[in-house]
Structure 1
Amino acid sequence: MGKKFVLSIDHGTTGSRVFCFDEKGKTLSSAYREFTQHFPKPGWVEHDAEEIWAGVKFLLQDAIDKADLDAKDAIAIGITNQRETVVLWEKTTGKPVHKAIVWQCRRTADICDELKKAGHENTIRAKTGLVIDAYFSGTKLAWLLDNVPSARTLADRGRLAAGTMDTWLLHKLTGEHKTDYTNASRTMLFNIEKRTWDDELLSILRVPASILPEALPSCSPFGITKNTGVLPDGIPVLAMAGDQQAALFGQLCTEPGQAKNTYGTGCFLLFHTGNQFLISRSGLLTTLAIDKKGGPAYALEGSVFIGGAVVQWLRDYMKFFASARETQQLVEDIDREEDELVFVPAFVGLGAPHWDMKARGAIFGITRDTSPARITRAALKSIALQSADLVKAMEADTGQSLPFLRVDGGAAANNYLMQFQADILNRRVERPANVDTTATGTAYLAGIGAGVWKDADELRSLLRDYSIFNPEMSEEKRSRELKLWQKGVERSKHWVD
């Protein structure tokens, strides 16, 4: 008998990964591939959904081969994804009618302004826990239906299907049209208290219910593989979760008061509130999360649009370095040299707690000795400073002071960034040995669905090895850093008329 394993598909904003996990939760192998970013206009971001599926097929085979496994021994599949990106496709052919519109895309900012002018903010906030922003999927769907030739007519005839990227990948794997609660909760169309698509919201955004997938708890039987061309038929997909909720579960933060921050393309801080549906007073979102058995729960969330993506920008567009790994040594060489440089990476506006779609990126305090190393340091600091804004808002909403922050994601591997995060928060930062907790979380959920593990309590024995970063910065320096940061943020706001 071959070695049993769980497959985890982790679809991100700039690339996809596939992981194989054994029945002890250990990573056996992983494979990664980037995909093309399309920028048809300033502030617009698109992906080719067919390119993404082709890449995932390749990665499935690659990951299985790397671990010398047999695909027929896969006992379950979990899917996790960057959440608000949306794709629209023909039901009969399975072909997208347009490129997928990415969560970062700001093309629907004017639609959002019209919704606000029409007085829909309170209704949407009360039912979805979200603010009106181009970040979410609902206005992207409305744009596709209104701007792709014949799309609205085809939708009204029941010939189109829509979904976030979990739904698209599930469709390609199984032929099913489903999503999970966590992804549905990010569309601005889903009532997170009743956990159903909301007729009033669908009417406001002019999105027909017929194009939307069935929504289920994150740990559910979503379908079985069929005609994939890479996997045998019959492997069950038993878990789907938005990336940040998957990471929250992967960190085993399943009880009220537990929180984590993920440092990926963006940064996302989630604070578990159990069964309490709490509306933020400080610019945070309320979202559906996952309890210890894989069922629905709630969380407060703060979203930073540009986190690790600022490093990618310095690498790809400014050519400051060849690899993100070089940034740690680059900034450590100048770490003790003071300056007043502030980098506000509002490339696609500001997310929580500011919610300013008209803000744009800016670098303040440039002098004649400003070097690529100094700009890189300011960029890394910006990731931690944006996250500190979220912690401050979360503590104000809950009335609780976080004793520590648990972290994950690719950029969390940067020791300089993690130490600065601990310093600027004046809180302990805990980083697990495996920072790929997004993929781990969905693998855990799939394993629970397959009966490998009972719940999160049983999984805690598997997650023990942490690196600890304790704050070392003086209060005077911390205050100076925060003051400069707030000045920079205020000056970057409302840049676009």
Structure 2
Amino acid sequence: MPRFVGALDTGTTSTRFIIFDDEGTPYATHQIEFAQSYPFAGWHEQNPIEIIESSHACINGAVEQFVAKGYKASDIEAIGITNQRETTVVWDSVTGKPLYNAIAWPDTRTSRLVHAFKEKPGAEKLFDLCGLPLSTYPSAMKLVWLLQNIPAVADAQKAGTLMFGTVDTWLVYNLTGRDKFVTDSTNASRTMFLNINTLTYDDFLIDFFGVRGIQFPELICSSDDTAFGKVAAGANALAGTPICSCLGDQSAALVGQKAFSVGEGKNTYGTGLFLLYNTGHSPVFSKNGLLTTVAYNFKGHKPVYALEGSIAVGGSAVKFLRDNLKLISDSDEIGRLASKVPDAGGVVFVTAFSGLFAPYWIDDAQGTIYGITNFTTREHIARATIEATCYQTRAVLDAMQKDSGYDLKTLKVDGGMSNSDVCMQIQSDIIGINVVRPSYRETTALGAAIAAGIAVGIWKGVDDLERVNKKGETTFTPTITEKKKEKMYHLWERAVEKCRGWVEDVEEDEDQLTEEKRVESSVSLHLLGKA
């Protein structure tokens, strides 16, 4: 009789619940997309209530499939959680209800705040304390914006009832019937409130951002058999089941790829792209634009750190071609279009919809397309969109090599875009090394399941995972010359340099809504209908 564990994966655009056996084979899955709100340029919000509702629905849907196959809900020994990181939720401890929409991780409304905070005394200390640069990306600036602009949030801070959390905290708080207010260090390390060296909240960071008086979640390990509590009684089909792990999505993917040794890395092609490189039990601080983060922190073991290169736009660029420009009718079509042309025809698409993240950290860039001529077709644009993700991956890998002194021999990949053979071949060509894709590519959910399974003894430890998701790997090898590869990359680097400063120019030249009017409009039109 196999043993089973469930994984709740709440990503940027959808929630899903997958039930795995002890060989990593999925037995049942249910997925639901939830709405995204873009009230103004650079703004990206989500409904926290909808995130919870979709979580219950996905668990119930997957369990229904599981039971229909002849198993019992009680056969599922534990639940693991993995989630979009940095996305910021605030709610009231008395009512338990959110005070504003969740501000999603790609949101760039805080760009002006970032520039102001970079001038504050002590700003130069931040990176060495938390491993993150001041940018619109981490949770800290999102929370500061909420405190400065949303009266209900500021009032709750004054009253001492303001609770802050990333999506993992919000999920566990609600799934346990408000019994647990916790976070793990992989998620906390993305807020700028955690000291990356001690893995505790840092007084200097709390004071720097002015967030005293806020309730912060308790810090616990990423894999623990008791600390996360149990699913509360009610409509959820897994009421009483222990929640035994929580990992930010990119850390979960690293675990799912079983990159447990120093020097191993992976790239997840999701809404954004995220490269993680295992650096062992000590944090490594990048001098080349990378982030220092917690890879995973299992109960009874030393925490493991990683260097990370975060790329804001990956699969979301494909969605942009589909939904905004109508150049494709479904996401899979992009690979088919790209394969019809030998190259991008001189077109370079800098997909800086949320600025450029690692290793550039250019907040004032916006999406730009260079090299369009009468020769350009939608096939060229499709290929240039794929190449944009691959070029940025190359830039991050170059930075990782400089920081670590180690060249990756292979790149492990997962996530939606990795399903495309065309995309993965282009990636191998641009980085000049082998790209290895596992047969089962939902490694984010698998990583959460592995962490929960280790907590309850389904696996004795990481050395007991040899049989998990082992068969059916595909390897892509480079097919173009070194000269062509470097010529293509040089064109990309030129395009990146040309896209700097676009946001500033637009704000100076266009008659836009003032910040106050945008906030007033957002509060009146976009506050949660279900809260």
- Flag whether TM exceeds 0.5 (same fold): yes
CA distance in structure 2 between the partners assigned to 1:337 and 1:138 by the alignment: 41
Residue 164 of structure 2 aligns with which residue? Answer: 162
CA distance in structure 2 between the partners assigned to 1:156 and 1:232 by the alignment: 37
Residue 507 of structure 2 aligns with which residue? Answer: none
Which of the residues 296, 315, 323 maps onto 2:322?
315
**CA offsets per residue over residues 112-169 of structure 1, 9 Å max, x none?**
1111111433211011011001100011111112222132232232212110001111
Letter in 1 for 2:202: D
CA distance in structure 2 between the partners assigned to 1:3 and 1:272 by the alignment: 31
Is it true that 1:212 corresponds to 2:216 in the alignment? yes
In the TM superposition, 1:74-473 aligns within 5 A as 74-174=76-176, 175=178, 176-208=180-212, 210-220=214-224, 221=226, 222-290=228-296, 296-334=303-341, 336=342, 339-465=345-471, 466-473=473-480
Letter in 1 for 2:211: V
Shift of 1:430: 0.4
Kept after mapping to 1: 8 A contact 2:157/2:213: no
CA distance in structure 2 between the partners assigned to 1:462 and 1:338 by the alignment: 38
CA distance in structure 2 between the partners assigned to 1:257 and 1:26 by the alignment: 27
Sort the Cα spacing of 1:72 and 1:338 in 2 relative to 1 into closer, same or farther, 3 A: closer
SS of residue in 1 equivalent to 2:465 = helix
SS of residue in 2 equivalent to 1:462 = coil
Kept after mapping to 2: 8 A contact 1:364/1:488: yes
Kept after mapping to 1: 8 A contact 2:2/2:22: no
Letter in 2 for 1:432: P
SS of residue in 2 equivalent to 1:133 = coil
Residue 11 of structure 1 aligns with which residue? Answer: 10
SS of residue in 2 equivalent to 1:460 = coil
Kept after mapping to 1: 8 A contact 2:264/2:277: yes
The normalised TM-score by structure 1 is 0.97
Kept after mapping to 1: 8 A contact 2:160/2:213: no
Sort the Cα spacing of 1:217 and 1:295 in 2 relative to 1 into closer, same or farther, 3 A: farther
Sort the Cα spacing of 1:292 and 1:216 in 2 relative to 1 into closer, same or farther, 3 A: closer
What RMSD in Å do the two structures reach over aligned CA positions? 1.5
Is it true that 1:477 corresponds to 2:484 in the alignment? yes
CA distance in structure 2 between the partners assigned to 1:61 and 1:233 by the alignment: 10
Sort the Cα spacing of 1:224 and 1:337 in 2 relative to 1 into closer, same or farther, 3 A: closer
Kept after mapping to 2: 8 A contact 1:173/1:227: no
Residue 493 of structure 1 aligns with which residue? Answer: 500
Residue 31 of structure 2 aligns with which residue? Answer: 32
Kept after mapping to 1: 8 A contact 2:22/2:468: no
Kept after mapping to 1: 8 A contact 2:281/2:302: no
Letter in 1 for 2:454: I
Kept after mapping to 2: 8 A contact 1:84/1:186: yes
Residue 516 of structure 2 aligns with which residue? Answer: none
CA distance in structure 2 between the partners assigned to 1:118 and 1:459 by the alignment: 47
**CA offsets per residue over residues 427-448 of structure 1, 9 Å max, x none?**
0110001111000001000000
Kept after mapping to 2: 8 A contact 1:219/1:449: yes
Sort the Cα spacing of 1:291 and 1:469 in 2 relative to 1 into closer, same or farther, 3 A: farther
CA distance in structure 2 between the partners assigned to 1:440 and 1:364 by the alignment: 39
CA distance in structure 2 between the partners assigned to 1:440 and 1:36 by the alignment: 25
Kept after mapping to 1: 8 A contact 2:256/2:443: yes
CA distance in structure 2 between the partners assigned to 1:269 and 1:120 by the alignment: 29
CA distance in structure 1 between the partners assigned to 2:23 and 2:423 by the alignment: 31
Shift of 1:333: 1.6
**CA offsets per residue over residues 68-125 of structure 1, 9 Å max, x none?**
2433332111110110001001112221100000000011111211111114332110
The normalised TM-score by structure 2 is 0.91
Letter in 2 for 1:6: V
**CA offsets per residue over residues 316-346 of structure 1, 9 Å max, x none?**
1111112111122111122x25611000000
Which stretches in structure 2 are left out of the alignment for 5+ residues?
Answer: 505-531
Larger deviation, residues 110-119 vs 6-15: 110-119
Shift of 1:64: 1.3
**CA offsets per residue over residues 291-314 of structure 1, 9 Å max, x none?**
687752111000000011100110
Sort the Cα spacing of 1:307 and 1:232 in 2 relative to 1 into closer, same or farther, 3 A: closer
**CA offsets per residue over residues 167-221 of structure 1, 9 Å max, x none?**
1111111121100000000001110111111111111111136421001110123
Shift of 1:31: 1.4
Residue 50 of structure 2 aligns with which residue? Answer: 51
SS of residue in 2 equivalent to 1:369 = coil
Sort the Cα spacing of 1:52 and 1:295 in 2 relative to 1 into closer, same or farther, 3 A: farther
Sort the Cα spacing of 1:312 and 1:149 in 2 relative to 1 into closer, same or farther, 3 A: same
Residue 524 of structure 2 aligns with which residue? Answer: none
Shift of 1:416: 0.8
Letter in 2 for 1:217: C
CA distance in structure 2 between the partners assigned to 1:11 and 1:338 by the alignment: 34
CA distance in structure 1 between the partners assigned to 2:25 and 2:249 by the alignment: 19
Kept after mapping to 2: 8 A contact 1:218/1:295: no
**CA offsets per residue over residues 412-464 of structure 1, 9 Å max, x none?**
11111101111111101100011110000010000001111011111022232
SS of residue in 1 equivalent to 2:337 = helix
In the TM superposition, 1:54-73 aligns within 5 A as 54-68=53-67, 69-73=71-75
Larger deviation, residues 362-371 vs 177-186: 362-371
Sort the Cα spacing of 1:337 and 1:81 in 2 relative to 1 into closer, same or farther, 3 A: closer
Kept after mapping to 2: 8 A contact 1:254/1:290: no
Larger deviation, residues 323-332 vs 80-89: 323-332
Shift of 1:231: 2.9
